[in-house]
Amino acid sequence: MMAEAAKLLARSKFAIAFTGAGISAESGVPTFRGKDGLWMRYRPEELATPEAFSRNPRLVWDFYKWRMKLIAKARPNRAHYALAKLEEMGILKAVITQNVDDLHREAGTKNLIELHGNIFRVRCTSCDYRENLKESCSLEEFLREELPKCPNCGSLLRPDVVWFGEPLPEEELSEAFKLARRADLILVIGTSGLVYPAAYIPYIVKENGGIVIEINVEESALTPIADIFLRGKAGEVMGTLLEEVKKILD
């Protein structure tokens, strides 16, 4: 299977990747629905909905600040670096991610579409103020604030991520669908494939005659449409896949 996957990837004309929380598991970032997943420990309706935020913004901010601290300590793993390398080699045209952890960007991926936002970005609940706390190097200071307020208008700031029941950012979603219609191969890495509209992306590639290669430690809701299923940890499998592709292209 690995040799077949490498051959198909090396010969692809327009390959893309679609990633979920599983790709960052080896970096120490908890998944959502896995054994110790966040939604196994906490109730998403109390922490990741606009209603929860208006009901108890302090509780929601405590949760996101805890995740920000945890993710700020995490480093990309071999899977993130392998995707960045495949892009550099001209094989991978884009990475579409459901993750908010910024690890693809840190690993060097250039054409990155973040469908669910980014945990290091904040925006105002009233005016159009936005800030990337990593770029403004104010993460430490920000994490000390109990209830972050907008420097422009004084209203509450919120994490610039997509909560349950909220629409995805239009530009990113239409760009992702456009790429999926064009792709002749998609790597589906570390996602349960249960959350829509993101999970439509591999189906769009399939419907347009593209090849679906899935990498996961266990079968997911997307495995039935996978042409090749590579069972294993993303870092290990992607590390090997990259080496195999390099051998073919050498």
Site residue total, ligand APR (CB under 6 A) = 24
Query: Which residues, at least 6 apart from 215, have a Cβ–Cβ distance to it below 8 Å?
Result: 79, 187, 188, 189, 190, 230, 232, 234, 237, 238, 241
Stretch that binds Zn ion, among 36-44, 115-123, 125-133, 197-205 (CB under 5 A): 125-133
List helix spans (H) across 42-190.
44-47, 50-55, 57-73, 78-88, 103-107, 139-144, 170-182
Q: Which of 82, 220, 230, 244 binds ligand APR (CB under 6 A)?
A: 220
Helix (H) or strand (E) holding 113: strand 112-114
Instruction: Supply the minimum distance, in Å, between the C-beta of residue 150 and Zn ion.
Output: 3
Query: From the candidates 78, 93, 104, 116, which is the catalytic residue?
Result: 116
163 annotated as belonging to a binding site for a ligand: no
The residue among 150 and 212 lying less far from ligand APR, judged by its C-beta, is 212
Q: Any contact of residue 77 with ligand APR (CB under 6 A)?
A: no
Q: Which of 234, 241, 242, 245 binds ligand APR (CB under 6 A)?
A: 234
Q: Which of 5, 16, 32, 211 binds ligand APR (CB under 6 A)?
A: 32
The sign of the torsion formed by the CA atoms of 101, 83, 74, 223 equals: positive
**Residue 56 interface partner, choices Zn ion, ligand APR, none, CB cut-off 5-8 Å depending on type:** none
Q: Any contact of residue 192 with ligand APR (CB under 6 A)?
A: yes
Question: Which of 11, 15, 26, 3 minimizes the C-alpha distance to 205?
Answer: 15
Residue 250, judged by CB atoms within 10 A of its CB (0-12, 13-18, 19+), counts as exposed
Token representation of residue 200: 């439509």
Are 9 and 247 within 8 A, CB to CB? Answer: no
Q: Which of 31, 87, 113, 120 binds ligand APR (CB under 6 A)?
A: 31
Stretch that binds ligand APR, among 18-26, 65-73, 125-133, 175-183 (CB under 6 A): 18-26
Told to judge if 104 belongs to the known catalytic residues of this protein, a careful annotator would answer no
Stretch that binds Zn ion, among 26-34, 140-148, 150-158, 191-199 (CB under 5 A): 150-158
Q: Any contact of residue 37 with ligand APR (CB under 6 A)?
A: yes
Integer CA distances (angstroms), 114 to 62, 83, 102, 152, 163, in order: 23, 15, 9, 26, 14
Active-site residues: which are they?
Answer: 116
Q: Which residues are annotated as a binding site for NAD(+)?
A: 20-39, 98-101, 190-192, 216-218, 234
